[in-house]
Structures are given as structure tokens and as C-alpha cells.
């Protein structure tokens, strides 16, 4: 599951839905800065507004393999590649060795002389596996503009929670601008980041700020959620029933989420990692049950609140830990 395309700005709060889908889109409002003249007190002289200033200078190389490239950004400023004391804006980690259940701060420092336009809800978490970066969270976010003034800083405090996956809990969506508790993460190399643009520039000239860190934890083990209430065999198909969702009437039948293990001839498979799979309850349950019972076909039955069921508009094929799985859905019938 790749990161959704970055949404631009911005004045209204709104959220999207679905697995790893971004929030609603809004076009940025035009700034009035170009038509205004700022004045200084006492000397009668004028100073140009920020929109007439030049964008701060950056070193020639600000990237590192410790950070992802991000989507739709003109530049990536990776903490590992720069001098954090000499760069206009940077994301600084409190530590780069993270322990479960111990809060860690990530601070965005604006040391330039310009306002940095950003959205503190749109922090971003990636994990690197076998050299490839995978977007993890958030799945969706509000989209207000939360500028960071010149000389200011903003800190996100992140705590990695443990045991929730093995206990059968669903992974809750995390939303916030300061304190973030993230579950469903296994050990490995991650990157925390955000993005935005300077007031003198355009949102089309966005800059990503990021830092890498190591999570010192066990690898994530894929287990079914506690919502699986019963299973039974229908020929070679394992039928599983979930307590998620609610029926609209006594005669309503649950929707069906069908997962089939397929061979390597499926060329359009999307590679996913455990941290992504556990954020999709239906995919998590189906793959975990397929592995537990060594079956090629799982039919998960539950009531979905979306149209089409489970928000899946077309057949999807995923590659997970060497196996490929095709997913289809169908709506339950009503009498």
C-alpha cells in the first residue's frame, strides 16, 4: 500500500475514509501579500512582504537513504544529510534509537526569516524494508493550514505502543498535532516527517522534512483480530464471520470479502508489509486466517458501512511475504 497522493491545504477541517486514503482536497487560497506593503515603525522605511523575498538557501545535497523521497515535493531535507544548526528548517529527533512505550520528540525548527506553511496534522511515518520505503500512517487527516512562524518550532511526541496486535485489537487511526501513540509497528528502520512550503514560495514548491530512526522491538506478527467470532469450512473455503458492522434489518445478509492465494502470474500485485496489513482489518484477518489454516481461500463475512462494500471498487492483488493474494468483494443480499 503506497502513500496516497499529498493533498494541498486547506482552510477547512475535513477527513477522508478508507485504508490509507487521504482527506478531502482543497485548493490553497490566494495570498494577499503581493498587494500589501509592510512598514517598519520609527524610520518611515518600508520592508517587502514575505512573498517578495527569496526562498532561503539550502545546501546542494540534503537527501539521504535514511529518509524516503516523499511524493510531490521539490526537495527533501533529511536530518542525517545536513548540519541541523546551519540549515533554514529541519526536523530534529530527540533520539534515533526508539524504545517501545518511551515517548520520543520530533521537533520541526524554523530558523529562517520566513513563515513556513504546513499542516501539523500531516505528519508522516514510513518504514524501510529490503531497501524499499512503505507509507504507514496516518491513513487520513484534517487539512487546516498551521503555519510555523520564523524562529518558531513545533514538536510531535511519539510513543510506540506494544502488544495490541497480538492481543487481537484493531489498530486505531491516530490523529493529532502533538501527542501521538502508534500501535502496530515492528522493529526496523523508520522515518518520521512532514512537509510544507515557505511563504515566499508556492505550495507547488513544497519541501519535505524528515529524520530516520531505529525502532528496537520484535518483528510484527500477523494475527487475526478479536472480531472473528466463528469459522467453518465450505468445501475448501474457510468461511469466517466477524462482529464488526451492523445490519440494517433482520433479513440483511453480510457482505463478503474474499481472499484467494494465487500464483506468481499475477503481475500487478502491490507489495505490502505487516505494518500496512494490520491497518486494514479485513485484509489482516483474511491473510492471518489463510496462513493459520493453510488454505488458499478465505471468505470473510461482515456488514460493511461503505458502498461498494469495504470501499473496494475493483479486484486488488497484494504480495505479502512471498505470497500473492487476490481480493474481491460482494454485497450481501436483502430480503
b/e string for 9-23 if b means 16 or more Cβ within 10 A? bbeeeebbeebbebb
Alpha-carbon distance of 68 to 234, in angstroms, equals 45
The tens digit of pLDDT for each residue in 51-101 reads 467 889 999 899 999 999 998 888 999 999 999 999 999 999 999 999 999
**188: which 3 cell numbers?**
526496523
Neighbours of 237 (CB within 10 A): 15
**Residue 46: pLDDT over 70:** no
pTM: 0.82
Neighbours of 317 (CB within 10 A): 15
Task: Measure Cα distances from 173 to 170, 234, 324 in Å.
Answer: 9, 34, 26
Residues 87 and 79 sit within 8 Å (Cβ to Cβ)? no
Domain residue spans of the chain = 57-215, 228-330
The yes/no answer on whether domain 57-215 falls in CATH 3.40.50.300 is no
Share of the chain above pLDDT 70, in %: 83
Amino acid at each position: 500500500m503506497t502513500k496516497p497522493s499529498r493533498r494541498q491545504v486547506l482552510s477547512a477541517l475535513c477527513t477522508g475514509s478508507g485504508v490509507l486514503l487521504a482527506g478531502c482536497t482543497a485548493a490553497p487560497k490566494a495570498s494577499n501579500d503581493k498587494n500589501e506593503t509592510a512598514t517598519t515603525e520609527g524610520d518611515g522605511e518600508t520592508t517587502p512582504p514575505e512573498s517578495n523575498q527569496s526562498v532561503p538557501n539550502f545546501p546542494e545535497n540534503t537527501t539521504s537513504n535514511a529518509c524516503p523521497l516523499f511524493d510531490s515535493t521539490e526537495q527533501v531535507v533529511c536530518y542525517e544529510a545536513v548540519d541541523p544548526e546551519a540549515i533554514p528548517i529541519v526536523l530534529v529527533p530527540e533520539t534515533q534509537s526508539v524504545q517501545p512505550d518511551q515517548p520520543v520528540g520530533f521537533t520541526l525548527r524554523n530558523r529562517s526569516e520566513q513563515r513556513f506553511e504546513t499542516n501539523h496534522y500531516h505528519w508522516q511515518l514510513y518504514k524501510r524494508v529490503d531497501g524499499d520505503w512503505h507509507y504507514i500512517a496516518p491513513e487520513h487527516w484534517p487539512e487546516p493550514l498551521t503555519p510555523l512562524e520564523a524562529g518558531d518550532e513545533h514538536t510531535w511526541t511519539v510513543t510506540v505502543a506494544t502488544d495490541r496486535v497480538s492481543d487481537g485489537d484493531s489498530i486505531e487511526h491516530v490523529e493529532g498535532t502533538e501527542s501521538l501513540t502508534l500501535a502496530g509497528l515492528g522493529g526496523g528502520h523508520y522515518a518520521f516527517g512532514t512537509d510544507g512550503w515557505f511563504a515566499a514560495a508556492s505550495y507547488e514548491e513544497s519541501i519535505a522534512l524528515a529524520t530516520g530512526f531505529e525502532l528496537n522491538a520484535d518483528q510484527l506478527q500477523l494475527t487475526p483480530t478479536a472480531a472473528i467470532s466463528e469459522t467453518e469450512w465450505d468445501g475448501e473455503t474457510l468461511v469466517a464471520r466477524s462482529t464488526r458492522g451492523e445490519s440494517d434489518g433482520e433479513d440483511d445478509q453480510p457482505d463478503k470479502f474474499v481472499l484467494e492465494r494465487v500464483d506468481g502470474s499475477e503481475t500487478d500485485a502491490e507489495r505490502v508489509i505487516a505494518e500496512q496489513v494490520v491497518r486494514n482489518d479485513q485484509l489482516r484477518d483474511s491473510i492471518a486466517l489463510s496462513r493459520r489454516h493453510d488454505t488458499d481461500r478465505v471468505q470473510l463475512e461482515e456488514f460493511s458501512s461503505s458502498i461498494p462494500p469495504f470501499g473496494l471498487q475493483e479486484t486488488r492483488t497484494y504480495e505479502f511475504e512471498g505470497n500473492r493474494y487476490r481480493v474481491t468483494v460482494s454485497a450481501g443480499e436483502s430480503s
